[in-house]
Structure formats: structure tokens, C-alpha cells
Structure 1
């Protein structure tokens, strides 16, 4: 079994770190040893890059001591120690120090890897306000005339326009700026990102005052989001002078606006923050967001000024290296209760507003909807009810029909009746069995002669009869048919062409995945948006096993057909859908992420830690279910998606509308995805995965 599958570097990730060493003011030898110790910790954890604070070798608070030759000489000696130590360390290191260059002093970041210095970046913007007066001691980057500098026996590139490309890690190009550089209106890293930098590094000292920690979060989050980049931020901690200032040692790692990690503040000792950044994801976001390329064109002069310095780092190979990054099991549904509540409220209101607009613009005041007693039609009916309330129309303008067939269970029929009563719509019941029998007889189907043949035709006759009734009822009542099929069913092609879960006049659920719909129904129940006693009705529906109920069963304990036994668990398939649709990841990477989220702990498969809920899947199970998804999504189902009705897009996770997020040929093949799927091992043993 190949260990490469279980190594994060095989899937477009890179492990990065931010170190906040304890320091002593004007003691470079001590500071170098603290830096090396953290660098060794980062190397042991498989990091490819470690960033340290601004002026970390000297300490930031040296003030006019920066003009003392003894201190500057000691800083260069300390750097030489770090360079020598780096020969035995895998990651690249970025350390801060004062540096003399052609009769000027610069506040610099030095990039070290593999026993060599690869470049020196001076600070571009020097703060000279409030408690800062750096211009007293330092020159800004644009004051430099030299493009290289002799340092530790090497002649190395020098300047603010350096980019460092890690040749042996795909998509890994980083840029370094220093503290104030990110506080200005147009940070240097903005242009660096346009020049290809996917990782932005900020060596900061940054004393702490009330409110500053939150503002750092805002700065770093927004810069990483605007630049579609990862952003590493470090600040000075214990040991800096408290003559007039205090220091909290805050370290942050963001990726495209999302916080991956934050260190403990006001720590009593050196500390290290480690995170895994998804470089492939950043690359794909830039490729997808074509305005990024337009920005490159508009700022081509600034972009052209950058020089690329190439280097290599040690990457752990031939061993499992699982993610330290938390991968949410339900990417469409936030795990945090407050964020989940806000997400449900937002999605619900989007759906309601879209339906209100469709009814208002069409001049139609009534809707027709089929109510099965299952999840999707329940939520669609709730949306219709709220839309009628917003329009000031009676809920009796919702013409709801439950249409029992040959396999309808007593449970779902009872739930449909209770739900319609709860909503207060116009409730009707039509037994479709007589019309289905007439159709089966016309077809010459064996069932019409009393033979128990439950084939696809038998199923589709029922689904088709329901849809036929709904459309004709809408014609008769001057109404529109509201569709109930969801995003998950469209992705898997788990809908019958031209019938209710595929075709309607307007579908409020088409871009909402099954996992989110279940939370929406629960949210409606738990937030008191239904009449007294209605919560129990909705919770009963949530507890009902998902089934099309088209084939009669032999047991009263449950339906004969169980959807998830055919197409796989929706919780896994929605996970696969999100990373395939939103980012275009290969099946092998999707499986790697799924293993990080859903791995079976008892078998020694990931994940470990406090974020593991109650369900687990083995890698073999993940691979099997992903295989179902890949073939159905890419090969067999697009022709259904190519002609779906209008529906509102509700989230950034994407929709499958042929007029919006997803345009694909109906006769495409799944071969390339299936070949990549075959690269996934069936599952590790406990020794390999431990």
C-alpha cells in the first residue's frame, strides 16, 4: 500500500508554522538559540516553512542600540548560527534582524534554507507615529541602491521585490513583508500575490494595546481573502522591553479569509503555531476567479518588478503525514451552533425571497405542491408558507396534494396529512393507483395482470402520474408547480427525468443539499416558526428513513427501498459533492479529505482529537461511496441537469444550474476520474495510519 496517499504533501497541502520565541533585548546569541529550538520543533512536525518575529535576533525594542556596531555584529554572528543549523533542518526559515547595507541600516527578513541564505527582504514602510519612530534608526526599502548583499560569506539577493519559490512543493511561492507593510492602503503583498505568491508572510513585532488583537485578525483575514492566499503573521512575545510597551506574542495563520490557527497570547515561554494550508485550493480559486487575472494585467508593471528566487526544502516522504487542519464533516452546514443558526436563517430567507419575487413578477398568487411526508417536500412547503405570509396572501393559496401510491407507508401518509394541517394550506389527497393501473395496462405491463413485477417502469409510472396531476392541477387553478428536488439528488441523478423531483415551474430546493435541508427543517422546528405542537411533526419527518416509496415492501418496520443503500450516505455524498463542485479536486484528494473528516478511529484511521462526532467510515467505505458519486456525477446524470427549471442559488458551495455555476456536456465520460479513484488504496492498517 502506498504511503504517499496518506501524506498531506501528496494532495496540494503544505505545512507551515509561525514561531514566537522568548527573547532577550540585545542578546542575539540567546535569541538565535531560541529560534533554532522552535525551528527544530517545526521540522519534527513536518513543516516546510517557519516564520519568526520582526527583528527577532536583536529584539524589536533596542531603540538607539541599533546603531551600536557590537549589536549589529552579534546579529550577523547569530544569523550564521541559524544558517549552520538549517543545514540539518527540513523547513525554510524566515528570521528578522537589523542589517547594514551600503552605509544604511535596514529592518530585514532573511530567508534561510538548507544551510544557505536565499534572500533578504527589507521593510518597505517605517511607522513614525504614536509610539513608533523606526525612521530614527532605519531606512525604508526604496532607499536601497543595492540589489544584492554579502552576508555570512554569501552574496544573496536583496530587495522588497523578492519571491521565494519552493521548487519541490507544487503551488508554493511565498513573499515576505514586515509589520507596518500590511497596515498601509496597498500592502506590498497585494502585488506579490498578483505575481504568483500563494503564501504571504509577515514578520511583525507589534506591541499590544486594547483592541489591537481583533484588528490584527481583520487585517490578516482581509488581506488573505483579497489576495486569495495564505497569510502567516507573527508578533513579538515574552522578553521584549516593557519600558513603555507590552507584548502579547500573537501568531495567526489565515487562508483565503479563514482562520486556520491562532497561538496563545501572553505566553510565558516560546511557542509554535502549525497549520496546513491548501495551496491547490488557492491556485484553483485564482483560476476560477478570472478577475484575479484581470488585476494581474492592470498591475503588470508592479508585477514585473518581482524577482523569483528558487529553493528547495525537506519534505517528509515515505511516511503518513495526516492533516492537523480541521476538516468539517458537513461543509454545507457549520458545526458551530451560532453560525449554523445564521446559515439556516440566511438560506431560508433566500429561498423565500426568490419565491416571493417569482410570484410577484408572474402575477400568480397560488402554488401547487406535492407533499410526500418526506424531507424535501416538507421544507419546500415551509418555504411556500413563509412566502405567502410575506406576500400578505392566505396560506390556503398553497394547494398541497398528497398522492399515495402502491408503496406509500402509513407513516409518511400520516406525516403528510399532519404537516398540511400544521401549515394551514389547502390540503387534498389523490389516490394515484387507479390512474397508474390504467397506464400500466396501456403499456401491457405484467403488474396490470396481477404479477408482482417492480421494475423501473413500474416506479416511473407512479412518479409520472404524480407530476402529471400536479401540472394539470396548476393549469386548472392558475398556479405554478413548486419543485422539491434538492442539490444532492441532482448531483447523483437520483431523480426521474421530467417528474416532480426533476421538473416544475420553479424549484426552491435545487441548490440546497440534503444535509442542509435536514438542518433547515430542524431550525424551523426549534426556532418556533411553526404553530404549537408543530415541532413534533417536523422532528418525526426528520427521523423518517429516506425512501422513494415506489416498490411495495414485505415488512411493516420500514420501507422496502432505502435510498442511501443504493447511492450511499448523503452525509458522505454531500462531502464529495462540495469538494468536487466547489474546487474541482481529484477523487483521491476528496478521499484524503474525507478520511481526515470521517476516518474510523477503531481501525487506526484518522481523525484523532476532540472534533470527532459519532459516525466513522473506513477508507474502503469512503472509496466505494465516492466511486458511486464519481460515475453518477460525471457520466450518467448531466442530461438531467441540463434542463432543470429556474431555482435560486443559495450558497457559495455552488449550484448545478446550466445557466449558472455548472455547464457540462450531457455525454461526457467519467474515465479520468475513475482512474484517479483507482489510485486510492483500500485502507491502511493501524500501523500505517497511527
Structure 2
């Protein structure tokens, strides 16, 4: 029998000393619960992912110093084994660092394992800094239990499709009683179920129980959902930690089965998890909360246009930061409808937040008159439309500078894909909450927010109105774009393709195939493809967005700007 504490913690990248103290607190909690083993997560000491901080002077010395602090603390708990993740130096040719798992006990490092498979795709770039570990298995006996050790990606290749090396099979040959995998697995829609499928299949294939410990928290664009779990070969997933929160839970492992700390049965795990909209909401809220906290912001400001994007952004910001810490600004121009201003008033009343009014008509007029005086030409058409957006962006940045609020940009993935946004205007800000949601998903999430609240937080008048930038008389988004249900299916196929969940891919593929069967449909698809390509320069300069899908703009999609696209 082995008593194990799962330490699912929210680390801050670069706060090595603070992360060490979180580990020590969890280890003491584990010892009080009678645990013989406490398991932390991949690169937990530095936070995942430290990127080029690894190359900063003094960074690795801080890692070594804090490792010494952990070793000292382990002497105070001599019966407890600590499984931690940290970068470690190495000698010889190749990179000078490895992504390592260390087992500490009573002041000593009793096992070391270096990650073999270094992901360099999507949001990952581990080959940039680390050298792969040798093709060897690491097993540690604790009491009567043989514990095998893995790090994240090393467990994802048991089907042998992505790498020539299979660390899981190598570990299985060493005949452990239990496999412990430490992870920093970013969250996206469907990822929890994918983890269960991949590691459940490996557990069945090798007849090995497995404990998968994942970190939690937002880091820049990426959010980690936690959802640590235990899986058995015959029963499947038998334990799951909470999602989107820290969770320190002690389990008992006895004769190949996971039990509650007192030896009783664990509650059943729901295979369905969260519905998609509830998942989006939880991920975005945690992502904003941690981003603001780690960047030193307590408050946020949003430009309230009376449209769906700004309304949803405000509702999510209130959930993440509290109504007392969110402000809205409406900036009507000569083209703004009375309904849009009124809708902003009702929205902010429902959310319990202040709404400031900053009209921009006089500013636009002043710019236009000076433009004509300086350049001998009237400002009209697209330049005049973009001027309004840029003045609004400037006003919001003034507010941010004056009051110390984090400015949240409101663009969605559909608009960012095709460049339906104004650089240095509505793209201004420090973080985008909706940038990985297609417009049709924005509407669905707004409805979900109301349903979850049990009341109309976002006025139905906002949800039901036709989308418009209101930068010209009678303007509608459909003047420039196809209807969003059409656009979004095309975008899903062109941007995410086979990375989509099977059902979503099949639906998008069938829709676009039928569309392309007609000449005008094929022309539309090619037009959208060209719009995506030529607006890469806008996305490169836009604020970071919170990633919720399989392929998000930013670190997960690296495309050239000056290139020819067929």
C-alpha cells in the first residue's frame, strides 16, 4: 500500500522562490495526511514554460538555490518522497539543460529522470532549450511499491505515431506497480477527454495503473486546467482532481487500485466533463484572473460599444475580477445608434459596473479638418472609419494610463482571421478574451452566461441585434463579410483543419465541400483564404489572446508576414 498526495498547484513562471514555498506548504500538508509520496508537476519549480528566462544570468543559480531550500525542507519530513520538476544542467555536446524529474527524500536527490520527448509544435518549443534524456527507465521503490516515473510528452507516444522512441514501453519493461507522470498539459476544448483516452489506452495496453498530475493556472496565452487523474487498466479513470483550481488531495494506492485516503471508494468520474460553453467560460475567467494578477493589475477597462463582443468581454471580466474592479467606457460618434448607447447603459446596470461616456464626434471632426488642411484632401471612406476606431483606442489607452486599468481588447477569432479590425484602434489593449472564439461561439457563450446567471446579464437586445461596427451610416458586418455561420465554417477548416474534433471537422468539411461545388462558393473560399493570409501583420501586432481551441493565433500558429500564399 502507498499513500500519495496529488499536488496540483498554480505556479508563476520565474517566481522560483515563491514556487518552492508553495511546494513546501503542500508537502507539509501531505505529511500531515500520512503520505509517503507527494507529486508535483513538470517544471513546477520554475513554472511552465520559462522560455528564454532559462538563458538569463543568474536564473539557473536561483533554481539551484531553491532546490537546496526544498532539500532542506525534505529533511524535516524524512518519511516523505517528493517528486518535483525542474530544469537541470548537463555536460557534453548539445544543449546544456534538461527538463528533469527529481525525487527528493530526507535531504537527498534519490532519483533523477530527464524528459526524452521534447515537444516542438503548436505552443511548445522545448528543443529550443533542452537536450533529450537517455532512453532509460527510472523506477523507485517506496515501501513495497515500485513506482515508475515519466514526464508529460513521454507518455503521449505509446501508440508510436509521433516519435521513434516510446518511453512508456521502456518503462513498462521495468515492471513497475504504478506509473507516475508529471505534466504541464495546456488546456483546450476536448483536451481532458484526449488525455483520458491516450493514457487510458496506455494503461490498458501495459496493464499498469497510472497517476497523471497536471498543473493549473493561466500563463500568458495558455491556461492549464489541472484535472489531474488516476487511471486503472480495467476500470479506466477512477479519480479526477478539480478543474481550474488548485487541489491537494491524498489518495491510497493498494493492490493496483486507487482509493480514497481512508480506504473507501472514490466518487465516480463523469466522462463528459464540462459542456463546451461552460469550459470556455471557466478557461477565459481563470486566464484573465491570473494574467491580471501576474502583470500587477487589479482592475480592467473595456470600451462598451453596445455590441455582443464588448458585452461578453465585460461580463467575463466581472466574473474574473469582480464588479468593483471593472469599468466600461462608451464613446459615441455621429454614427452611433441611440440603441447601442442605451444597450451599454442597461448592460452595465445589470453587471453592476460604472459606465463613463466619452463622445468622440468633436475629436473626429478636428482630425478630419486638420487632415484636409495638411494634405489637401477630405478624409472619407475607410480612413474616416478607421480614424474613429483609432480615436476610441487612444481614449481607452488614456484611461488605462491614468487609472492603471488593464485594457481588454474585444476582437473575436472570426474578425482577427480576416482582418476585420483596426490596427491601433480596436486592437489596442493588453489582453484579448475572445480572440480564440469564432463569432458564432461568441453568441453561444453570451447566451450561456445568461443561463448560468439565471437572469439577463447581457441584454437580449445586444445578443439579437445584427452585428455592426457603426463606423458609417447603416453599416452591417455582412456588408464586408459573409454571414458568420458561413464564414466560421470556412475559417475552421482553413485555420484548424484536422486539429478540430472529429465531429466539428466533419461538419465543417461537409459544409465547405458543398459550398465549393458552386463557382461563387469556391470564389468565396479563396477570398477568405486570401484575407487570412494578408492580415497576418495585424495579428502579429495584436495583444495576446487566451487560447481555448486546438490552434490559436499567437504562439500556436507561426506564419510569415511577407510571403506568397497559394
Q: TM-score, normalised by structure 2?
A: 0.50
Q: TM-score, normalised by structure 1?
A: 0.41
Q: If you compute each CA radius of gyration, which structure gives the higher value, 1 or 2?
A: 1
